[in-house]
Structure 1
C-alpha cells in the first residue's frame, strides 16, 4: 500500500524473487478463508491476471496469506537503516527529451551533515533508529527518457531503475531501504510516496520534496508502518511532527509511543482518574525530548457510556530542544492534546490500522479547556523553566454532568 499525500491510496504487491512491484487494480485483497481484508505488510501467494498496463494486475485470485504482521506498539525499536538513494536523470531518446535530477552533493549533505536527517532521526528516536552512513549510498542513475517515467508512473520507474541499479550494485540485499528521487521533468503530483510497511519510497526533487528533511523522514517512517499526523480531523496538517507538515520536527508524543521510542508518564482510566467530587489529578509533564521515559499522559476514557468511548487522549509538551530545534513557534511551550482512534491505539486487530493521531488543541500556560465529549477539563497551569529543563504543570478533572463540578487549582499570577 502507498499513500501519495493527495488523500489517495494505491495497493500493490512486491514479487519476492526480484522485488518488482505490481499495482492491484481491484485494491486491497481479501483472505478467501476469513473474508477479511489482508493487512498491509502481509506476505501472500496469489495469481495475478495481467492488465493491459504494464506492472498491473487486473484481478487477483487464489489468495493465500503466508505471513501477517502482528499487533505491536513498537514499530521501529532498535533499527539500523542501510539506505540506497537513487537520483534519477533522463537522457534524450526517440520518445522524449532528457531531464536533469537532484543535486547529489546537496542531498548527501542534508542526510549526513550537522543536524542532518541521520542525526535528527537518532536524536528523535533516543537512539532507536540509526541511518548508517557507512552502509548507505547516494547514487546517480541515468535512464533513457520514457513516457512512463515522465508521467511519474512510480512503480514502472522503480522497476526499470532497479534492473539498471543491479548492474552497478550486484548485492542490493545489503540495503534495507530504497529511495528513488524522480527526474526534474517527471510530472509527479506528490512530494513523496512510500510503501506502507515496505522498503521503498519515491520523492520529487525540490525544496518540498527530497530537500525537505521532514519529507525524507516521513517517507522512511511510512516504511515502518507510521501514518500521517492529523490536526482538527484533517490528514497531514499537524505541523508539530514530520509525519504531518513539519519541516523537521520530531514525531508527536503518541507517535513516539507507537514507534516504541518512548513510554508514557501515566495512563489514566476510570480507576485512576476519579470524578470531580473526589479529586483533581495533578501532574508535571516534561518536554518530549527529555524522554524516552515519561513523555506523555495517556487517557483512556472508559467511563463514557456505551459506544461513546471511541478515542483516547494524549497530553504532551513540546519545546525547541534536541531533535525539535527547528519546531514552528506555534507549538513551542504549548500543551498539545491529541486524540487517537481507540481500536487501533489499543492494539485491537492489526498493527497496520491507522490510529489517526489528531491534534485537537494547544494550550498555553494559564489556560484551560473543557472537552465535553470526554467529560474532562484540562488545565495547563504553569510552565516551569529551571535546571530540570521545561515542564508543564497540568490538572485534569473528570466531571459527571457539567464542567462547573471541577474545582481547578488556582493559576499562579505572573
Structure 2
C-alpha cells in the first residue's frame, strides 16, 4: 500500500521492484492472506494465481483438462507456474494528467544517510541551479506550455534501514524521507499539489543499480546524485514525464534504446510520437490530421510535404495511418508512422551527429492515436525509431509498403519530404532523381516559432519548502504509481 498525495492507494509489487497500480477507486483491501491488517507503506501478500501441475503415472505429461492425478497419488514432480498480472489501464476511467499549460511544482528532497556512511554530495543551491537548466529544456521542448513555477530543495536525514540503504526499495526510501520531512516542518501531511523527487547520496548507485526511477504515472521520482542522475537534464525529464504517463522509447526492439529522445538515451527533446502524446505538437499533414490510404492513392505516386524542424514550431510532424495494411486494426500489430525533421538547435542541440539535421521515422501503436485521451494513455505505445534519412536521400520501408524521399535541408531548417505507397514492389515508386516533378500538398500555415523564455534570475537556495497546512483527504488520484527502472 502506498500514499498518493496523502491518500492510501494500492499497487502490485513485482519481483524486479516495479509497481503496477490498481485503478483509482479500487475496493479497499483490508487484510492479506493471513488475515493481517495493512498499514500505509507496508507490503502484504495476495493470492496471485499459482497453477500446480502434478505428474503421476496416469499423467506423465502433467495434469490437464483430459488427465487428472488421483488425490491420494503423491506428487512425483512439481511444476509451479505463476500467471502473469497485466496492468491494463483502459479498464480505468478518466483521462491522463494534463501536460499542456502546466505550472509544475516540485520539492526536491536530498537524502542524508550519513549515519551509515552515505553522506550527500550536493547542496540545495546546486539543485536549484540544475533545475533552472531543466526548466529551460521543458519550455523549449514543450514550446512554452510546460513551465516550472515552484521548485524547492530541502535536506533530510531519515534513518538507515535494510529496506533503504541496503535494499534500495524506492517505496521505503520515499516513506522514510517524507516522515523526516514532516517532522522537520512540524506537519502531519504534505501538500497535495506538488511533485516529489528524492536525490540519493553517492554510493547508493552501486546499491540500487539504476540512475533513476519514477512512478508511471504518479508524483514521485528517485534520482542518483551522479552524472547520470540528477545532474543530467535528460534523466530528470525522462523521470518527470514518466510521472505524466509517458513510457520509455524503443530502438531496435529494445526499451530505452532510442538515442533521439530523452525518453531513451538521448540528450534531446521527446520524439514526434511522444510530442503528439504529450500534446506538445501537432501534425502538418491533411490540415493537422493523418495521412491515410486515400491520401496516398493511387499507389506508385509520391506526394510531398514541407517540414520545419521540431525546435522551430509546434506544428512539426507527419502522422501516417498505415490503414492499407491488413494488420492496421489489430491493437498489437497496427502501427502509425511519425515523420519529423530534427535539427541540433534549441532543445535538440544535444542530438548526436548520427541523428542531427536528418528526418526521423518512428512507429507507434495505432491504438494510441484514438485512446490517448483515456486511461489507456498510460499503456506503453511502443514508440520506436525505425529509420533516419539524410537530406537528398531515398529509403524503403518494406514493412509498410512505403518509399520515402527527402529534399535538401534549407538554411531556415525546413525540408521537403515525399511519400510513395506501393502495392507489391518498391519499384512501383519512381527514382529520386525525378523529385522535382512530383506534386506536393498545399502548404499549411505554420504556427510562429515559440519565443525563447527570458533567463530567470537564480533564486536563493530554499533549504526547506514553505510549511504546508494539513490537507483534507484528496479525491482519488488519477492513477496509482509504478516505479520503473532506468539504466
TM-score (norm 2): 0.70
- Structure 2, unmatched stretches of 5+, are 49-88, 437-487
Displacement of 1:42: 3.0
Residue number in structure 2 paired with 1:158: 174
**Aligned match of 2:160 in 128, 141, 145?**
145
Q: How big is each residue's C-alpha offset from its partner over 1:107-162, in whole Å with a ceiling of 9 and x where there is no partner?
A: 221112xxx00111011111111111xx3211111123222211211111111111
Question: What corresponds to 2:484 in structure 1?
Answer: none
Equivalent-residue separation in structure 2 for 1:70 and 1:20 (angstroms): 19
Give the drift of 1:177.
0.4
> Helix, strand or coil for the counterpart of 2:198?
strand
Distance 1:412 1:140, change over 3 A: same
Residue 353 of structure 1 is matched in structure 2 by 379
Q: 1:263 aligns with which of 264, 271, 282?
A: 282
Kept in 2: contact 1:297–1:315 (CA 8 A): yes
Moved more, 360-369 or 16-25: 16-25
Tell me how far 1:320 sits from its aligned partner.
1.6
**8 Å Cα contact 1:22/1:155 also seen in 2:** no
State which drifts further: 166-175 or 258-267: 166-175
Of 139, 142, 166 in structure 2, the residue corresponding to residue 125 of structure 1 is 142
Which residue is 2:200 aligned to? 182
Summarize the alignment of residues 18-37 of structure 1 with structure 2, pairs less than 5 Å apart.
18-19=6-7, 24-25=12-13
Please say if residues 112 and 119 of structure 2, whose CA atoms lie closer than 8 Å, have aligned partners that are also in contact. yes
Residue of structure 2 equivalent to 1:272:
295
Deviations 1:60-95 (A, max 9, x none): 89xxx9x935356x8511111110000101132xxx
Q: 1:371, CA displacement in angstroms?
A: 1.1
More strand per residue: 1
Q: Secondary structure at the match of 1:100?
A: coil
Matched, 1:303 2:324: yes
Q: Does 1:168 align with 2:184?
A: yes
Q: Confirm or deny: 8 A CA contact 2:11 2:21 kept in the other structure.
A: no
Q: Give me the whole-angstrom Cα distance separating, in 1, the residues matched to 2:23 and 2:259.
A: 27
Q: CA deviation at 1:412?
A: 7.9
What pairs up with 1:12-411 in 2 under 5 angstroms?
Answer: 13-15=1-3, 18-19=6-7, 24-25=12-13, 42-50=24-32, 55-59=42-46, 68-71=92-95, 75-92=98-115, 97-104=116-123, 105-112=125-132, 116-132=133-149, 135-150=150-165, 151-169=167-185, 170=187, 172-173=190-191, 175-186=193-204, 187-247=207-267, 249-266=268-285, 267-277=290-300, 279-293=301-315, 295-305=316-326, 310-347=334-371, 350-385=376-411, 389-410=412-433
SS of 1:289 mapped into structure 2: coil
Please give the root-mean-square deviation of Cα atoms over the aligned residues, in Å.
2.8
CA–CA separation in structure 1 for the residues paired with 2:191 and 2:354? 43
Deviation at 1:289, TM superposition (A): 1.1
Q: Which structure's CA Rg is the greater one?
A: 2
Following superposition, the deviation at residue 311 of structure 1 comes to 0.8
Q: What is the deviation of 1:410?
A: 2.1
User: What is the TM-score when the length of structure 1 is the normalising length?
Assistant: 0.82
Aligned residue pairs, count: 371
Do the aligned partners of residues 358 and 210 (structure 1) sit closer, same or farther apart at CA in structure 2, a change above 3 Å counting? same
What 5-or-longer segments of structure 1 have no aligned partner?
1-12, 28-37
C-alpha displacement at 1:185, in angstroms? Answer: 3.0
Assess, with a 3 A threshold, how the Cα gap between structure 1 residues 153 and 257 changes in structure 2: closer, same or farther.
same
Distance 2:4 2:403 in 1: 52
Please state how far the C-alpha of 1:24 moved relative to its aligned partner: 2.6
Distance 2:215 2:320 in 1: 31
